[in-house]
Chain A
Amino acid sequence: MTGDTSPPQVLIAGNPNCGKSTLFNAISGGSAHVGNYPGVTVDRTTAPLDLASGRIELVDVPGMYSLTASSPEEQLAVSALLERGTRAVVCVVDATTLQRGLYLTLQLIESGVPVVVALNMMDAADRLGLRIDAECLSARLGAPVVPVVATKRLGLDALRSALDAVLAKSPPAPPKIEYPRALEDDIAALSPVVAEWRPSASTTELRAFALWCMLSLGDDSLIGVPSSVREAASRIRARAVEAGRDPDLEIVSSRYRWLDAAVAAASSDLQNEAPLSERIDRVLTHPVAGLLIFAVVMFGIFEALFAGAEPFMGAIESLTAFLQGQATALLPAGILRDLIVQGVIAGVGNVIVFAPQILMLFLFVGFLEDSGYLARVAFVIDRPMKAVGLHGKAFVPLLSGFACAVPAVMGTRTIERRRDRLVTMLALPLMSCSARLPIFILVVGTVFAGESVGWFSAGAVALFSMYTLSVLVTLGAAAAIRRTVLPGPTPTFVLEMPPYRWPSARILWINAWRRLRIFLVDAGTIILAMTIVLWAFLSFPKSEEITAHYEVERDRIERLALPDGQEDEALRLLSGQEARAQLEQSLGGRFGHAIEPVLRPIGFDWQIGVGIIGAFAAREVFVSTLGVVFGIGEADEENKPLRQALQDAKHSDGTPVMTPLSGLSLMVFFLLACQCMSTIAVVKRESGSWKWPAFLFTYMTVLAYVASLIVYQGGQLLGFV
């Protein structure tokens, strides 16, 4: 269609680990914009680029080894190619592993799109004594080949002018690859059917499309391929297989035969039988030393998330509290002030408080990924992960789940396949995160203080059991989700082990910052909105009667002319009681009362129920909500009056609410329930739909309720209280 003013698109494609993103960042100067491909949650990173011939839009497509696809995700690159406006492709090839990178290049050239080959890592090739004749290679491929060193920003100008040159003219005919006679017949038979699907395609494009269909169609889940093409392709395939042929093998090996000849002509032999990385791996993947180093590195990540982020998070929390105090002092009392203080400022605080952990995790994971060690992590830990149907790369996100599910869910991006990523994302919120700890401590301090089990204190045993249970349930849930909701084969494991490289601090920072910005904008808005809704739920309606009653009480106390200390204390107690009374008759308080019949069988009363509602903001908020519910005001998990109030709380029949058994039930509930709106928000962002967070919340809540029910009812049957 005419009238389209959007700039022409140039894709930047290449194998994983070929330095594609480094080149993208180098050439675009960090002015990238991250969006989403429609329908799938793969980042679509774009940046404007000014060439001599005008402005283009550079699109960073995910790393891939070929254009062949069997899932909608792999189809992305192909669809991006077909998008109106794609004018050329920069194909980044790692010079040290030429044939494999050129396989993708060849596929691109075959498809008829103008290609510029960026021969990256020329410095590494030089060090290995590998000489590549770029002109010879260029002549063979029929596309310009530009040597570059992306990390040192070498060759970028030459790359730009080569791009200008290919944009100015139509590409030459692709090189003639000799496919077997029988395969040529297959292509000829398939082409007319493909032509009906793509009426405007050129002869070159039709041939490439027919080859793509032969290789991709069959056991795929691709979208948008018409059934006529499917049927024709499967008929032709079946005929070939009957004749004892393997069309896949014919296509791929013909291409590699051509490539081997081209590479042999254009480059010297690589004499690199035991590269440096392999020698490093003798230590890093050694049966003993390797496992030890692995444990140390993982502990380092864990420590950074758990303890390293703590001071920053504390500072953010103090700042939030300070701003809340300032706003309270400056604004006149009323609903608007409450909205700003308890809704907006608290909500923004709830979002920003995740920033330190997210930055740290992504700096860490980025370092592991760019250095090449992340592939070794997967290599070392794949065996036990495979047993529960997870990918080796799921290990780091799962471990991070012990600190916080929010950065951990974001960390699942290193897992390539969507199904594997979703399974990990949906199981890891069961890992006992640091926000559960305050609740455990409060409960342990309330019901297990001074008790012991054998030689150990009952509290320590309870805590240890929670962490063990969380690991077992997480792995069990992953296995169950894999078998039911997301059925599919155990994730395959074909992983390139890239050579070790020293990552660039600048790239690490750009990527971590980009991830943080996505979180702040996309998940942050959801978290802020939910904070405000939750605040309203626990604040409205306001009872004028209660306000008036406590106004009278306050006046009465002030008239008593008590000594200063006593008066303050009395007023503090009074406002605690007022907050409690208002909360009890708010929507949230009434809801707590309404669900009491449901909570009673697992050992809770309405007050715990209100605490659970408040804790949807974040688990640790349970403690402060209980502080309000019991009329104590501000309280933390070590708070003595709160523990006392909990110990004194009685059900309507006079039995105590908090017993060791109901305490255990409460811990199990919080261990398993999805009491965290930030997790919901981030799963929405990372899965791309509300369907998955809804499923997550439902299954975890049901699981938590059933488990608490078993603990409480089972415990009573066994004679515990």
Chain B
Amino acid sequence: MPASLTELKPGQVGEIVSIDCGRSMSRRLMEMGLLPGTRVRVVRAAPLGDPLELRLRDYSLSVRRSEADRIAVRPEGRA
């Protein structure tokens, strides 16, 4: 059952299932390598709770919760 990226705990890894952030934002994220099938680790949330820091394809990317909410992932390490 896919979860949203915001539901992952810091340190947890998930595989992207779908991105539904509106066309231009989705396209931007995809072109930066965040695609269905890509493994993403949630590194941490900013000190004030938002945005989130993600690790994918050997680099770190920061996105807001409002976007992360609309990215569906399949969490790893769960049955």
**Is B17 located at the chain interface by the 8 A CB criterion?**
no
**Is A215 located at the chain interface by the 8 A CB criterion?**
yes
When A97-B57, A100-B32, A383-B49 are in contact, do A497 and B27 touch as well, CB less than 8 Å? Answer: no
Contacts of B50 in A (CB 8 A): 382-383, 386
- Cα–Cα, bound, A496→B32 (Å): 9
When A68-B27, A248-B27, A256-B35 are in contact, do A97 and B59 touch as well, CB less than 8 Å? Answer: yes
- Cα–Cα, bound, A290→B53 (Å): 14
B24 and A70 within 8 A (CB): yes
Report A248 CB to chain B, min CB distance, Å.
5
**CB within 8 A of A285: which of B25, B44, B58?**
B44
When A278-B43, A380-B47 are in contact, do A493 and B60 touch as well, CB less than 8 Å? Answer: no
- Cα–Cα, bound, A291→B27 (Å): 33
Report B72 CB to chain A, min CB distance, Å.
14
When C-beta atoms are compared, the residue in chain A nearest to B21 turns out to be A492
Residue from the set B44, B53, B58 with the largest chain A CB neighbour count within 10 Å: B58
- Cα–Cα, bound, A215→B37 (Å): 21
State which size class the interface on B falls in.
Answer: 20 to 34
B30 and A253 within 8 A (CB): yes
When C-beta atoms are compared, the residue in chain B nearest to A66 turns out to be B31
- Cα–Cα, bound, A252→B43 (Å): 25
Report B28 CB to chain A, min CB distance, Å.
6
What 1/0 flags go to A257-295 for Cβ under 8 Å of B?
Answer: 000000000000010110001100100011110110000
Report B43 CB to chain A, min CB distance, Å.
6
When C-beta atoms are compared, the residue in chain A nearest to B46 turns out to be A379
B25 and A492 within 8 A (CB): yes
B62 and A248 within 8 A (CB): no
B25 and A494 within 8 A (CB): yes
- Cα–Cα, bound, A685→B79 (Å): 59
What 1/0 flags go to A77-105 for Cβ under 8 Å of B?
Answer: 00000000000000000001111100100
When C-beta atoms are compared, the residue in chain B nearest to A246 turns out to be B26
When A248-B23, A252-B27, A494-B63 are in contact, do A285 and B32 touch as well, CB less than 8 Å? Answer: no
- Cα–Cα, bound, A281→B30 (Å): 25
A252 and B62 within 8 A (CB): no
- Cα–Cα, bound, A381→B61 (Å): 16
In chain B, positions 1-56 with a C-beta closer than 8 Å to chain A are: 23-33, 35-37, 41, 43-44, 46-51, 53, 55
B58 and A382 within 8 A (CB): no
Contacts of A503 in B (CB 8 A): none
Number of interface residues of A (CB under 8 A): 47
- Cα–Cα, bound, A551→B8 (Å): 86
B58 and A253 within 8 A (CB): no
In chain A, positions 476-509 with a C-beta closer than 8 Å to chain B are: 492-499
- Cα–Cα, bound, A93→B29 (Å): 19
Contacts of B55 in A (CB 8 A): 273, 278
- Cα–Cα, bound, A219→B23 (Å): 8
A219 and B24 within 8 A (CB): yes
When A218-B23, A278-B60, A380-B48 are in contact, do A494 and B33 touch as well, CB less than 8 Å? Answer: no
Contacts of A381 in B (CB 8 A): 48
When C-beta atoms are compared, the residue in chain B nearest to A270 turns out to be B58
Contacts of A287 in B (CB 8 A): 47
B33 and A103 within 8 A (CB): yes
**Is A718 located at the chain interface by the 8 A CB criterion?**
no
**Is A384 located at the chain interface by the 8 A CB criterion?**
yes
What 1/0 flags go to B56-79 for Cβ under 8 Å of A?
Answer: 011111111001000000000000
When A70-B24, A278-B43, A494-B67 are in contact, do A252 and B58 touch as well, CB less than 8 Å? Answer: no
Contacts of B64 in A (CB 8 A): 382, 386, 492-493
When A103-B33, A272-B58 are in contact, do A494 and B28 touch as well, CB less than 8 Å? Answer: yes
**Is A249 located at the chain interface by the 8 A CB criterion?**
yes
- Cα–Cα, bound, A253→B27 (Å): 11
- Cα–Cα, bound, A378→B30 (Å): 22
Contacts of A103 in B (CB 8 A): 31, 33
A249 and B30 within 8 A (CB): yes
When A70-B24, A492-B25, A495-B62 are in contact, do A252 and B31 touch as well, CB less than 8 Å? Answer: yes
Question: 29 A-B contacts, Cβ less than 8 Å apart?
Answer: A65-B28, A65-B31, A66-B31, A68-B27, A70-B24, A97-B58, A98-B58, A248-B23, A248-B30, A252-B31, A253-B37, A270-B58, A285-B46, A285-B47, A287-B47, A290-B47, A379-B53, A382-B46, A383-B50, A492-B25, A492-B28, A493-B62, A494-B28, A494-B29, A494-B61, A495-B62, A496-B60, A497-B53, A497-B59
- Other than the given A249-B36, A379-B62, 13 more pairs (CB < 8 A) read A96-B59, A97-B57, A253-B36, A277-B60, A281-B43, A290-B47, A379-B51, A380-B48, A382-B50, A492-B64, A494-B25, A495-B51, A496-B61
